[in-house]
Amino acid sequence: SVEGELITKVKKCAKELQIGVILGFPERHRFKIYNSAVFINKKGEIVGTYRKIHLFDHENSYFTSGDSIPVFDTPQGKFGVMITYDMEFPEVARILALKGAEVVFVLCANMIPYEHHQHVYLRSRALENHIFIAAANKVGLEDDYVYFGESEVINPNGHCVFKSLNNEDLAIVDIDLSSSASSKEILNYLDNRKSDLYRREGL
Protein backbone atom coordinates (compact mmCIF):
# COMPACT_ATOMS: atom_id res chain seq x y z
CA SER A 1 0.00 0.00 0.00
CA VAL A 2 1.06 3.64 -0.25
CA GLU A 3 1.43 3.55 3.54
CA GLY A 4 3.67 0.47 3.35
CA GLU A 5 7.38 0.01 4.04
CA LEU A 6 8.57 0.38 0.43
CA ILE A 7 6.84 3.70 -0.29
CA THR A 8 7.80 5.03 3.16
CA LYS A 9 11.49 4.38 2.41
CA VAL A 10 11.28 6.09 -0.98
CA LYS A 11 9.51 9.10 0.54
CA LYS A 12 12.36 9.44 3.03
CA CYS A 13 15.00 9.26 0.27
CA ALA A 14 13.14 11.80 -1.87
CA LYS A 15 13.07 14.26 1.03
CA GLU A 16 16.74 13.73 1.92
CA LEU A 17 17.93 14.08 -1.70
CA GLN A 18 15.42 16.78 -2.66
CA ILE A 19 14.24 14.98 -5.79
CA GLY A 20 10.85 14.03 -7.14
CA VAL A 21 10.17 10.35 -7.73
CA ILE A 22 7.73 8.39 -9.86
CA LEU A 23 7.75 4.77 -8.75
CA GLY A 24 5.89 1.83 -10.24
CA PHE A 25 4.59 -0.74 -7.78
CA PRO A 26 1.82 -3.33 -7.30
CA GLU A 27 -0.63 -1.40 -5.14
CA ARG A 28 -2.88 -3.17 -2.69
CA HIS A 29 -5.93 -1.02 -2.03
CA ARG A 30 -8.76 -2.48 0.01
CA PHE A 31 -9.48 -5.84 -1.64
CA LYS A 32 -7.93 -5.09 -5.03
CA ILE A 33 -4.45 -4.94 -6.56
CA TYR A 34 -3.50 -2.32 -9.16
CA ASN A 35 -0.49 -1.80 -11.40
CA SER A 36 0.25 1.67 -10.08
CA ALA A 37 2.71 4.55 -10.12
CA VAL A 38 3.07 6.87 -7.14
CA PHE A 39 4.30 10.45 -7.57
CA ILE A 40 6.37 11.72 -4.62
CA ASN A 41 7.57 15.34 -4.50
CA LYS A 42 10.86 16.83 -3.25
CA LYS A 43 9.43 17.15 0.24
CA GLY A 44 8.82 13.42 0.43
CA GLU A 45 5.07 13.89 0.13
CA ILE A 46 2.77 11.81 -2.04
CA VAL A 47 1.25 14.06 -4.69
CA GLY A 48 -0.93 11.31 -6.10
CA THR A 49 -1.17 7.84 -7.60
CA TYR A 50 -1.99 6.67 -11.11
CA ARG A 51 -3.46 3.20 -11.65
CA LYS A 52 -2.85 1.60 -15.03
CA ILE A 53 -6.03 1.55 -17.09
CA HIS A 54 -5.18 -0.71 -20.04
CA LEU A 55 -4.05 -4.10 -18.77
CA PHE A 56 -2.04 -6.22 -21.20
CA ASP A 57 -2.67 -9.93 -21.69
CA HIS A 58 -1.99 -11.85 -18.44
CA GLU A 59 -2.09 -8.66 -16.32
CA ASN A 60 -5.85 -9.09 -16.26
CA SER A 61 -5.33 -12.19 -14.12
CA TYR A 62 -3.66 -10.19 -11.34
CA PHE A 63 -4.68 -6.54 -11.50
CA THR A 64 -7.77 -4.39 -11.51
CA SER A 65 -7.93 -1.60 -14.11
CA GLY A 66 -7.70 1.98 -12.91
CA ASP A 67 -10.64 4.28 -13.56
CA SER A 68 -9.19 7.80 -13.56
CA ILE A 69 -6.62 9.85 -15.48
CA PRO A 70 -5.18 12.38 -13.01
CA VAL A 71 -2.97 15.37 -13.73
CA PHE A 72 -0.53 16.33 -10.98
CA ASP A 73 -0.07 20.06 -10.46
CA THR A 74 3.40 20.99 -9.17
CA PRO A 75 5.49 24.17 -8.93
CA GLN A 76 7.47 22.88 -11.93
CA GLY A 77 4.43 22.25 -14.13
CA LYS A 78 1.54 19.87 -14.72
CA PHE A 79 2.38 16.22 -15.21
CA GLY A 80 0.60 13.02 -16.15
CA VAL A 81 1.59 9.35 -16.03
CA MET A 82 0.99 6.36 -18.28
CA ILE A 83 2.14 2.77 -17.82
CA THR A 84 3.37 0.74 -20.83
CA TYR A 85 0.26 -0.43 -22.74
CA ASP A 86 -1.53 2.84 -21.93
CA MET A 87 0.68 4.66 -24.42
CA GLU A 88 -0.80 2.61 -27.26
CA PHE A 89 -4.20 4.22 -26.71
CA PRO A 90 -4.28 7.84 -27.95
CA GLU A 91 -7.20 8.68 -25.68
CA VAL A 92 -5.13 8.62 -22.48
CA ALA A 93 -2.51 11.11 -23.65
CA ARG A 94 -5.20 13.28 -25.25
CA ILE A 95 -7.19 13.46 -22.00
CA LEU A 96 -4.02 14.36 -20.09
CA ALA A 97 -3.23 17.11 -22.61
CA LEU A 98 -6.77 18.49 -22.45
CA LYS A 99 -6.44 18.59 -18.66
CA GLY A 100 -3.33 20.73 -19.03
CA ALA A 101 -0.48 18.21 -18.68
CA GLU A 102 2.76 19.57 -20.08
CA VAL A 103 4.80 16.40 -19.59
CA VAL A 104 3.66 12.79 -19.56
CA PHE A 105 5.94 10.29 -17.86
CA VAL A 106 5.68 6.73 -19.16
CA LEU A 107 6.81 3.73 -17.13
CA CYS A 108 7.54 0.97 -19.65
CA ALA A 109 8.31 -2.73 -19.70
CA ASN A 110 8.65 -3.25 -23.44
CA MET A 111 10.53 -6.21 -24.81
CA ILE A 112 12.16 -7.28 -28.06
CA PRO A 113 10.91 -7.27 -30.86
CA TYR A 114 8.69 -4.23 -30.12
CA GLU A 115 11.32 -1.48 -30.28
CA HIS A 116 9.70 0.14 -33.31
CA HIS A 117 6.31 0.18 -31.63
CA GLN A 118 7.67 2.08 -28.63
CA HIS A 119 9.38 4.67 -30.80
CA VAL A 120 6.28 5.28 -32.94
CA TYR A 121 3.86 5.54 -30.02
CA LEU A 122 6.03 7.92 -27.98
CA ARG A 123 6.57 10.29 -30.91
CA SER A 124 2.92 10.17 -31.91
CA ARG A 125 1.60 10.91 -28.42
CA ALA A 126 3.99 13.88 -28.08
CA LEU A 127 3.33 15.36 -31.51
CA GLU A 128 -0.44 14.98 -31.61
CA ASN A 129 -0.85 16.56 -28.16
CA HIS A 130 1.94 19.20 -28.18
CA ILE A 131 3.46 17.76 -24.98
CA PHE A 132 6.74 16.34 -23.76
CA ILE A 133 6.91 12.58 -23.32
CA ALA A 134 9.56 11.08 -21.02
CA ALA A 135 9.64 7.28 -21.07
CA ALA A 136 11.77 4.96 -18.95
CA ASN A 137 11.87 1.40 -20.28
CA LYS A 138 13.05 -1.68 -18.46
CA VAL A 139 16.30 -3.39 -19.52
CA GLY A 140 17.68 -6.88 -19.26
CA LEU A 141 16.59 -10.51 -19.26
CA GLU A 142 13.65 -11.81 -17.27
CA ASP A 143 12.37 -15.35 -17.90
CA ASP A 144 12.04 -15.59 -21.69
CA TYR A 145 11.81 -11.84 -22.28
CA VAL A 146 14.56 -9.39 -23.20
CA TYR A 147 13.68 -5.79 -22.31
CA PHE A 148 15.46 -3.43 -24.68
CA GLY A 149 15.60 -0.13 -22.76
CA GLU A 150 16.03 2.77 -25.21
CA SER A 151 14.38 5.19 -22.79
CA GLU A 152 13.59 8.49 -24.47
CA VAL A 153 12.55 12.09 -24.03
CA ILE A 154 10.45 13.41 -26.91
CA ASN A 155 9.64 17.10 -27.38
CA PRO A 156 6.24 18.52 -28.44
CA ASN A 157 7.32 18.52 -32.09
CA GLY A 158 7.80 14.75 -31.96
CA HIS A 159 11.59 14.96 -32.02
CA CYS A 160 13.83 12.90 -29.74
CA VAL A 161 15.97 15.09 -27.45
CA PHE A 162 17.47 12.15 -25.54
CA LYS A 163 17.67 8.43 -26.13
CA SER A 164 19.30 5.85 -23.93
CA LEU A 165 20.88 2.59 -25.06
CA ASN A 166 20.15 -0.97 -23.95
CA ASN A 167 21.71 -0.84 -20.50
CA GLU A 168 20.79 0.81 -17.23
CA ASP A 169 21.38 4.53 -17.52
CA LEU A 170 20.96 7.68 -15.46
CA ALA A 171 20.25 10.74 -17.56
CA ILE A 172 19.59 14.37 -16.63
CA VAL A 173 17.66 16.07 -19.43
CA ASP A 174 16.69 19.75 -19.35
CA ILE A 175 13.41 20.65 -21.05
CA ASP A 176 11.73 23.98 -21.68
CA LEU A 177 8.00 23.69 -20.97
CA SER A 178 7.31 26.98 -22.75
CA SER A 179 8.07 25.26 -26.06
CA SER A 180 4.80 23.33 -25.75
CA ALA A 181 2.80 26.43 -26.65
CA SER A 182 5.04 27.41 -29.55
CA SER A 183 4.89 23.87 -30.99
CA LYS A 184 1.18 24.23 -31.78
CA GLU A 185 1.51 26.95 -34.40
CA ILE A 186 -0.83 26.27 -37.34
CA LEU A 187 -1.24 22.57 -36.46
CA ASN A 188 -2.89 23.15 -33.07
CA TYR A 189 -4.49 19.72 -32.87
CA LEU A 190 -6.22 20.39 -29.56
CA ASP A 191 -8.11 23.51 -30.67
CA ASN A 192 -8.96 22.12 -34.11
CA ARG A 193 -10.72 19.02 -32.84
CA LYS A 194 -14.39 18.50 -33.79
CA SER A 195 -15.70 17.21 -30.47
CA ASP A 196 -19.40 17.43 -31.36
CA LEU A 197 -18.88 15.44 -34.54
CA TYR A 198 -16.81 12.80 -32.72
CA ARG A 199 -19.57 12.35 -30.16
CA ARG A 200 -22.23 12.01 -32.84
CA GLU A 201 -20.12 9.33 -34.48
CA GLY A 202 -19.94 7.40 -31.22
CA LEU A 203 -16.48 8.38 -29.96
| pLDDT tens column, 29-81 | 989 999 999 999 999 999 999 999 999 988 999 999 999 999 999 998 999 99
Same domain (yes/no): 103, 129: yes
Same domain (yes/no): 111, 151: yes
| Interval 126-176: pLDDT, tens | 999 999 999 999 999 999 999 999 999 999 999 999 999 999 989 999 999
Same domain (yes/no): 61, 73: no
> Could you tell me which residues are beta bridge partners of residue 140?
147
Same domain (yes/no): 84, 180: yes
Same domain (yes/no): 152, 192: yes
Residue 176: CB atoms within 10 A of its CB come to: 10
Domain boundary (68, 96, 117) is at 68
Which string of DSSP letters, residue by residue, matches the chain? Answer: -TTSHHHHHHHHHHHHHT--EEEEEEEEETTEEEEEEEEE-TTS-EEEEEE--S--GGGGGT-PPP-----EEETTEEEEEEEGGGGG-HHHHHHHHHTT-SEEEEEE--BTT-HHHHHHHHHHHHHHHT-EEEEEE-EEEETTEEEE---EEE-TTS-EEEE--SS---------TTHHHHHHTTT-TTTT--HHHHHHTT-
Work out how many domains the chain is built from and give that number.
2
| Interval 182-194: pLDDT, tens | 778 888 899 999 9
Phi-psi category of 117—alpha, beta or left, where left has phi over 0 and alpha has psi -120 to 50? alpha
The CATH number for 83's domain is 3.60.110.10
Same domain (yes/no): 157, 171: yes
Q: Which domain holds residue 156?
A: 69-203
Same domain (yes/no): 54, 111: no
Same domain (yes/no): 8, 101: no
